[in-house]
Amino acid sequence: MARNARHAKILEIIGEREVETQEELCQALAAQGMKVTQATVSRDIKDLRLFKVKGGEKRFRYTSLREHEGGISEKLRALFRACVLRITPVENLIVVKTLPGSGANAGVVIDGLADEQVVGSIAGDDTVLLICENAEAGKAVSDRLLALVGA
């Protein structure tokens, strides 16, 4: 089965209903005639950059970072705005404080921006640390993130 077709089907499935586990995703694909292993689904989740958010019917559900020209989807912008408490630039570092449990989600959104001035990032439970090349880059990236949250 073609990888691109499987990826499209996964995005369709998680767009139509809440899927909480890789096993559920395997079963949903099998119901569509696509027999896959859990290891394949695990790789697909990584390739598609899927991540979990709080579900409505289930505890958690998979969602995707759908990139558009010029950045990220409005849904993810709203997620970022809702979970970020403070953005603090310190020379070439940027500390992003989030609500407890939201550091990883904020990190996914930040990584989705693919800012070339960011050398690396580390996401924890309620904090994301961004490392930029220099203080000037840190200020530019910080300003972009502040604009994203509407500050």
Please indicate, yes or no, whether residues 85 and 135 belong to a single structural domain of this protein.
yes
Q: Are 46 and 77 in the same domain?
A: no
Among 41, 64, 87, the domain-final residue is: 64
For residue 50, which of 88, 12, 86 has the smallest C-alpha distance? 12
Take residue 118 and report the two structure tokens written for it.
């960011």
CA angle, residues 128, 131, 118, in degrees to nearest 5 = 100
Tens of pLDDT along 39-82?
A: 999 999 888 878 777 778 888 888 875 543 345 667 777 888 89
pLDDT at 72: 67
21 and 78 inside one domain: no
Share of the chain above pLDDT 90, in %: 49
> In terms of domains, do 75 and 116 share one?
yes
Q: Are residues 47 and 86 in the same domain?
A: no
Q: What confidence score (pLDDT) does residue 69 get?
A: 33
- 60 and 98 in a single domain? The answer is no
CATH of residue 101's domain is 3.30.1360.40
Q: pLDDT tens digits for 98-116?
A: 999 999 889 888 887 767 8
Residue 8 has pLDDT above 70, yes or no: yes
Same structural domain for residues 17 and 85? no
Q: Tell me, what amino acid is at 140?
A: A
Range of the domain at 98: 70-149
Same domain assignment for residues 14 and 75: no
- Domain co-membership, 143 together with 76: yes
The pLDDT tens digits of the residues spanning 131-149 come to 999 999 899 889 889 888 8
Give the model's pLDDT for residue 66.
Answer: 54
Q: What's the mean pLDDT in 85-110?
A: 93
Q: How many separate domains does the chain show?
A: 2
The mean per-residue pLDDT over the stretch 23-44 comes to 94
Cβ within 8 Å of residue 123, ≥6 positions away: 103, 104, 106, 107, 108, 129
Question: Do 76 and 130 fall into the same domain?
Answer: yes
What is the predicted pLDDT for the residue at 62? 86
